[in-house]
Amino acid sequence: MRYAARSDVGRIRSKNDDSAYVGRHLAVVADGMGGHAGGDVASASTVLDMIHLDHDDYPEGAETVLADEIQTANSLLSELVHQNPKLSGMGTTVTALLLEGRKLHFAHIGDSRAYRLRNNKFEQVSIDHTFVQRLIDEGRLRPEEAETHPHKNVLMRVLGDVDASPELDLDVLDVEPGERWLLCSDGLNYVAGHVVERMVRETKDLHECAEILVALTLEAGAPDNVTVVMLEIAEETDDDVNTAAVDIVPAAALAAVDEPEAVTATKSADDLSADKAAEDTKADSQAKAAREADAGSSFSAGDPGDSKDDAASSDESKEPPATTDPHLGEHLSAEVLREELASRPHELVGAAATAAETGSIPTVAGRTVARRAATVLTHKAEQDRVEVEEPARRRVRWLMPAVAAVVVLGVVVGLWLGYAWTQTRYYVGEYDQRVAIFNGISQRLGPIQLSRLEAVTDIRVDSLPEYGQQSVRQTVPAGDLNGAQGIVENLRNTGSASANCPSPSPTASASGSATTTPTPTPTATVPIPSTAAVASPTPSPVPTPCEAAK
């Protein structure tokens, strides 16, 4: 990959919740959510947990690597929330590409987007996991109406403190040299689609293209953070091979944190007869040091040298003593990540770049540092290593997320069935001062209206009797569309929403006044009142809605 990346906080937001990383084989954009509490933490943690994938050495294939890493990042976000309840509700979108030979592995969740320009065709590869996109897919909303819909930012799928096993969009695509990709957060949506396409087509320099797209977003007001990653697939050259041939992690990466442990690892390898065995022992010792060192909380970092004294008394025959530095895990995590970032060409922007620079790396005590150190050293997923060391405890820890997933699934299915039932109902109400038919029920579920406008009639509400006006404004339920249309006809003919209006039957009294009595059946005839009754000066009673209409 040839690449460029740019991120900007925008003109309204106070902090940047977007993060992005792009290198020769990996590109990922994450747009954090959760407001002030943890949007930046969610996106930064996810991106930093994935950077070790930026290589092209997958002997067994990379078909499931990207999906597995995103699912693991999701579980780490849940544990961060468990450690710090103030982060509750945080989450992030993820759109990622992993280049393996001539295959491009694609993973996506949320409303960040991936566009591809190939063979002169520009298209959106990702699908937004939003409420309005679902309405478009169901034919209930036109695409041009989506941009002004009041719920256009409601996400249906996201990574984070929401779902124990989120559903990802996954694909494996063939690549051709020269094709271009644009990954972006939804902040770029404020620039017209045809303008974005023209910039990607016509701007040859990737860095310039990324700068222009961000500048256009700022000109459009930039009410949200905006992050842009531009990349182009190119044939590998000799220079690429030479500059990419770097050590996975130099020994100094961990020696700066735990020098005595590194020395111990070297001494224990002297008794071995093969150089390969020595290297394996050293790597294992370094990973062990990372696991044992991780004892801190989540959001601070300091001088890596502070941890040296705590490991000075360790030897080969004993477990190292308990650390006295509560932030040792963060020191190690920041050091390992910085070494990893320095080991290959890349661009890191947004909240992830800020976290790497300041050392405020989100970590999970007892897990994150060990995972990061081990994956950087060996390029192996955490699950393979942990199952050997702690099989029973890990299985128990996954039990609760599994139960939670079943409960969440049951709630979602129940809500969906309830919503589907509401869409079989109809009611008559008021729209723009006219009588209208609505599909659904008149209630709301939070910000979501459970009905939509079906038809507007020419009957003005203020032309109805007072009783009819009150009925319409309080809404009149109907079992189906035919029932609703019948109610409208009653309002048009009688001024009442009821279909059972009694017919009046005036009867002349001896005093010359008329008495109206309901007939026993709707088919009974109405006798013509006498002349005396018509001429009676006695005032008539106030008519009912049905009588007034007649």
Rounded to the nearest 10 degrees, the angle between the axes of helix 382-389 and helix 368-378 is 120
Asked whether residue 490 carries a pLDDT value surpassing 80, the answer given is yes
The rounded distance, in Å, linking the Cα atoms of 226 and 17 is: 9
Q: What would the two tokens of residue 192 be?
A: 């017209």
Residue type, 533: A
Q: If we measure between CA atoms, which residue out of 296, 458, 460, 283 comes closest to residue 378?
A: 283
Other residues' Cβ atoms within 10 Å of the Cβ of residue 516: 16
- The CATH number corresponding to 1-246+345-356 among 3.40.50.1980, 3.10.310.10, 3.60.40.10, 3.90.1150.200 equals 3.60.40.10
**What is the rounded average pLDDT of the residues 46-71?**
89
For the beta sheet containing 476-478, the strands, ordered from the edge strand earlier in sequence to the opposite edge, are: 448-460, 434-445, 426-431, 476-478
The rounded distance, in Å, linking the Cα atoms of 183 and 115 is: 7
Q: Is the dihedral of CA 214, 215, 217, 218 positive or negative?
A: positive
Asked whether residue 308 carries a pLDDT value surpassing 50, the answer given is no
Tens of pLDDT, residue by residue over 452-475, are 888 999 898 888 888 888 888 888
- Please report, for the chain, the start and end positions of each structural domain, with discontinuous segments joined by +: 1-246+345-356, 253-343+359-389, 426-494, 505-540
Angle among Cα 536, 538, 540 to the nearest 5 degrees reads 105
Q: What's the chain's Rg over C-alpha atoms? A: 34
The rounded distance, in Å, linking the Cα atoms of 489 and 477 is: 14
Residue 373 in contact with residue 287, Cβ under 8 Å? Answer: yes
| Range picked from 93-97, 395-399, 516-520 for highest mean pLDDT | 93-97
**What is the rounded average pLDDT of the residues 409-429?**
86
DSSP structure string for 77-121: HHHHHHH-GGGTT-EE-EEEEEEETTEEEEEEESS-EEEEEETTE
Share above pLDDT 90 across residues of the chain, in percent, rounded to a whole number: 30
Determine the pLDDT at residue 332: 52
Find the helix or strand (DSSP H, E) in which 449 lies. Answer: strand 448-460
Determine the pLDDT at residue 447: 77
Reported as a pLDDT band with limits 50, 70 and 90, residue 197 is very high
From residue 2, how far is each of 230, 243, 308, 388 by CA, in Å? 8, 14, 40, 39
- Residue 31 sits at φ, ψ, to 5 deg, of -115, 105
- Mean of the per-residue pLDDT values of the chain: 73
Looking at 208-315, which runs of residues are DSSP E strands? 226-232
**What is the rounded average pLDDT of the residues 270-296?**
43
* pTM of the predicted model as reported, rounded to 2 decimal places: 0.55
Residue 257 burial (C-beta neighbours within 10 Å; 0-12, 13-18, 19+) = buried
| CA quadruple 33, 38, 40, 43: dihedral, nearest 10 | -60
* Least confident segment among 189-193, 224-228, 294-298, 517-521: 294-298
* Least confident segment among 48-57, 307-316, 532-541: 307-316
User: Between these two residues, 83 and 306, which has the higher pLDDT value?
Assistant: 83
* Least confident segment among 326-340, 342-356, 444-458: 326-340
Asked whether residue 353 carries a pLDDT value surpassing 70, the answer given is yes
Tens of pLDDT, residue by residue over 115-149, are 999 999 999 999 998 888 888 888 888 876 777 67
